[in-house]
Amino acid sequence: MQGESLRSSVGALEPSTGGPYIDHHPRALSRVECSVPSQALACCSQKLVKIVNLNDISGRVFVRGELPDYLRHNGANASNGRGAQSTSEDDMVDITAGLQQAAAASVTTPTSHGTFQLYEHGGRNSNASANSYTIAQYFSSSAGDAVLFSGMSGDDDIPGIGQYDDFHTIDWQRDIARDRMRHRYIVKKRQDSIWDLIKGAHDAWSGWVCVLLVGVCTGIVAGVIDIGASWMTDLKFGICPQAFWLNREQCCWSDTDTTFDTGNCSQWLTWPEVLGGQRQGPGAYIISYLFYIVWALVFAALSASLVRMFAPYACGSGIPEIKTILSGFIIRGYLGKWTLIIKVVGLILSVSSGLSLGKEGPMVHIASCLGNILSYLFPKYGRNEAKKREILSAAAAAGVSVAFGAPIGGVLFSLEEVSYYFPLKTLWRSFFCALIAAFILRSINPFGNEHSVLFFVEYNKPWIFFELIPFVGLGIIGGCIATIFIKANIFWCRYRKFSKLGQYPVTEVLVVTLVTAIIAYPNPYTRMNTSELIYLLFNQCGISNSDPLCDYNRNFTDVNSAIEKAAAGPGVYHAIWLLVLALVLKLVMTIFTFGIKVPCGLFIPSLALGAIAGRIVGIGVEQLAYNYPRIWLFSGECSTGDDCITPGLYAMVGAAAVLGGVTRMTVSLVVIMFELTGGVRYIVPLMAAAMASKWVGDALGRQGIYDAHIALNGYPFLDSKDEFQHTSLAADVMQPKRNETLSVITQDSMTVDDVDTLLKETEHNGYPVVVSKESQYLVGFVLRRDLNLAIANARRTMEGITGQTIVIFAGTGNQPLSPPPCLMLNRILDMAPITVTDQTPMETVVDMFRKLGLRQTLVTHNGRLLGVITKKDVLRHVKQMDNEDPNSVLFN
Amino acid sequence: MYFKFIALVFATTCAVFVSGHSYEDNRCKCVCPSPATVLNNTAGADRSPFMKSANVQPNKCNCESVILPRVGDQIKGREQEFCPRCECKYENRNTTIIKVVVIIVIWVIMLLVVYMGFLICLDPLINKRAKASYQEHTNEDDESTLGGPSQQMGARGNVLNRVTHQQDKWKRQVREQRRNIYDRHTMLN
């Protein structure tokens, strides 16, 4: 037994069949011969328990009153198993009694769970004499996870059980079962006293209260970021001496007379003016240039050093990590208090430094941090990792909701892009959370424009059918730009990861900032805040727009207020050249920027890239329509003059296309974009562009940027979008391989010393528990962490625990309880591990891992334990089948 | 002591700013083409539009009440042509929120910078005096050396020590994060 390896270090994958294991223990049959049918029955009912779990997972309401009889029977077993654990004896009679009780319970109170009522019942009957040891034992082994974690709400709980170590995967099944048990406990206690009733009510509404708090906090934090970033961005250009906390627009807000020629009002002083010079002229330009660069460097240096000093996890966009966390991975500290503070402050600083980055992606991370922190106020969510992820999903929706002022888009983003497990209940909570967050941000009104984003535009222009062709063309362009971006960015990040560049994170930030500032300042379109650039490009040219981009030879004498098409003036052509330059610069700078060690997102840069490309195309089409209004393409709709081609719409479609290509979002992207424009009229153009962009992107490169970063970092993310298309079997993937033996724990014959030795000599995170080493019949599964904690706890609290104490996990009917006393560890044993047979196709196994959120599954052959498949094995196998390096997966 | 001082300074700064110059929170913003364009009927002569803001009632926010009293003499009875081309919008803002937020942001940044300076410059000195065996942050094996003294101090068990213990724990976590990201490059690349 000692030195056996359950999950050995990975050598060559040998296709191993179940063959050698069948005859491993010839003596096994002698003891368990008679009980094989009941084992089979137990296995069967185990699976049925899991079916119930599956139903709960998929969010459907499963009324216990409708349970078929065999499941109720199982519930009865569960209760009896519970009783058996205390006295280790049980009787067939209990099962019948329990069944009746279950039926009664489901009739009288259909909402409460039948199994719970059985809970006590089994205990009462547990002193019945044992006359059928084998059957009782095997029925108790089918007790199901529902019972085992009931200690969660008990008083004598071992501290730390149910938590996870850093960089481990959670077991959704187990956590959800724990929560269900806790819920039943509360429902039962509710009848005891008023106080318990209040506690029960608090428990029932805590989910909604939690998302309410998350929404409120997210809205406030978003407001702080918006106001702070817009003020600090303008600090690069000048200051408002009378009220230094106002940015340029707010400073000139109540100025009574402003012309657009200078763009400045008297209250706002640029830096050359502050220093006593004049507003115009080469000297002023140089001083402004210098101030711009210095401020940018100061902000970036502050941001990078704060991140490095206080919370390194605050760097980057955070969406790949949030995706991984929501898929059931633990990264301690990633959603902590310091990460939140530093991410907020660092985000304000890095956005203000003029780097080519946005605040929208990190907003999702910030909202998730808030969700995590606030969930600790509610033990239901704070202590249960699977439940906590429901709050995190809602928080991610709130993050996008405040980032774009798009609540529905946020919910869909959470559903489409980040969440892994998204039942309807979570959908409603996300909806509520996003609504609250958007409402709070809107009340703060950070931009003074009655909207929660700077680049909100309102359109009401029709589009003509022919325009779908340029829209699809924009989709293709967007897909190409996105692919270039993803490939180059991944190349650069990989280079950073494996070269000496990675050792100089702060220096890298400073160099990138310096280069960005030097190149960006001369071009007015890159100098300005990227959100303002997007707003300018989205907007249509009206009287209030004096940018060169709107230098059309328009005749304002006509009283008709419609903006008609007109010949482009020289300003437009000049602006186009500047925009082309800006496009190239932004693309290159974003490639180098995304991944540096400051908080940075890429929604805004991608939107800007697409908006530039779209606006250029739009101006082209517009001039075509102006010069040749009668060609068949426009089917006569452009001959009247007005309402023909809107370049701003093209900018919007282009922005959607690039963002769609980069992130591979479709539905949520279209919804976000139309919430930004406030009109449903452009859904079809946006859909066409998003779809074209996704197709082009998928054809040129397989992954979106987030998936590519997950792969680059090797996070253990089992993508539910990919299909597993290989023909391997469970036996090929499981550990141990041939020639190695499985580390197992026997249910009632190992001493504390044996267990200690096993824990010391192997590094597995869990051990199967079997009836005996000879028979290898499966009893359950115990986690290494729980085992450690339980033994340490027993040593601390119980007397007489020596190295020779027998550790008993289950079923000790034939063992005397005389000294030395046994250590009962039935509380930590998962008696309903998911099992598959060795001939199960991997396709099915991968599906089970994805849909049930398993951490491991046990492989059996002829009912006997053969091996274990963990999520890591599955991920390695997938990587190996895709001809990638299987050792790149970050995992414990 | 240290924190009290900061809080005091913070309060006084707030008081100073609250009593300072106050900006309007409502405006009616009208954007119009320049009168010359309309009157001369010459396209492209002087097209630069202009903007007027005024503090009026929301229902008075239109060209007739805001623009005409100011430029009426230039227009000379051609209001019917001029006014339809003006865009008037009533807008709200809250300067108090902006002020409070910006000041809080500045304070938080300053606090963090001061604390960072403290951790970089003073903390090693203090710790060096406290225990000679202090290891540099980048050392891989310093977890045990840091864990030991803090536990001994925890035995005395007053609030200060608990704070120190928490701080040590936090520092260990940050060091671990730093190692993951900056040295081993296993995360967030």
Over residues A747-758, the mean pLDDT reads 84
Q: Is the pLDDT of residue A780 over 60?
A: yes
What is the 3 state secondary structure string of A498-547? HCHHHHCHHHHHHHHHHHHHHHHCCCHHHHCCHHHHHHHHHCCCCCCCCC
**Which residues in B lie closer than 8 A to residue A448 (C-beta atoms)?**
91-93
**Which residues in B lie closer than 8 A to residue A257 (C-beta atoms)?**
50-53
Q: Is the pLDDT of residue B110 over 90?
A: yes
Model's pTM, two decimal places? 0.80
Across the interface, do B102 and A316 touch by the CB < 8 Å criterion? no
- Give the best-scoring range by mean pLDDT among A119-123, A147-151, A362-366, A621-625: A362-366
C-alpha span between A450 and A460 (Å, rounded):
19
- Report DSSP letters for A137-154, one per residue: HHHHHT--HHHHTGGGGS
The two beta strands, B50-54 and B26-32, are: antiparallel
State whether residue B48 sits within 8 Å of chain A by CB.
yes
C-alpha span between A810 and A783 (Å, rounded):
15
Q: Which residue of B has its CA nearest to A888?
A: B186
Across the interface, do A497 and B185 touch by the CB < 8 Å criterion? yes
C-alpha span between A214 and A208 (Å, rounded):
10
**Which residues in B lie closer than 8 A to residue A503 (C-beta atoms)?**
182
Q: What residue type is A446 in one-letter code?
A: P
Confidence at residue A256, expressed as pLDDT on a 0 to 100 scale = 60
Q: Which of B48, B99, B101 sits opposite A261 (nearest CB)?
A: B48
Over residues B144-165, the mean pLDDT reads 59
Query: Best mutation site among B93, B183, B186 for testing chain A: the one with the most A CBs within 10 Å?
Result: B93
Contacts of A395 (CB under 8 A, 6+ apart): A211, A214, A218, A367, A368, A370, A371, A372, A433
**What is the ipTM for the molecules in this complex?**
0.76
- Give the best-scoring range by mean pLDDT among A102-111, A632-641, A746-755, B59-68: A746-755
Confidence at residue A3, expressed as pLDDT on a 0 to 100 scale = 37
Q: Which of B17, B93, B105 sits opposite A228 (nearest CB)?
A: B105
Q: Is the pLDDT of residue A62 over 50?
A: no
C-alpha span between A872 and A355 (Å, rounded):
38
Vertex A512, ends A510 and A516: CA angle to 5°?
A: 115
Confidence at residue A255, expressed as pLDDT on a 0 to 100 scale = 65
C-alpha span between A391 and A433 (Å, rounded):
9
C-alpha span between A562 and A542 (Å, rounded):
9
pLDDT digits (tens, 9 = 90+) for A360-416: 889 999 999 999 999 999 988 988 888 999 999 999 999 999 998 899 999 999 998
The two beta strands, A766-770 and A778-783, are: antiparallel
Q: Which of residues 274-333 of A touch B (CB under 8 A)?
A: 302, 305-306, 308-313, 315-316, 321, 331-333
C-alpha span between A662 and A682 (Å, rounded):
21
State whether residue B49 sits within 8 Å of chain A by CB.
yes
Q: Is the pLDDT of residue A294 over 90?
A: yes
Two tokens at A876? 């390695």
User: Is A57 within 8 Å of A423 (Cβ atoms)?
Assistant: yes
Q: Is the pLDDT of residue A572 over 70?
A: yes
* Residue with more model confidence, A61 or A285: A285
pLDDT digits (tens, 9 = 90+) for A200-223: 888 888 999 999 999 999 999 999
C-alpha span between A562 and A526 (Å, rounded):
30
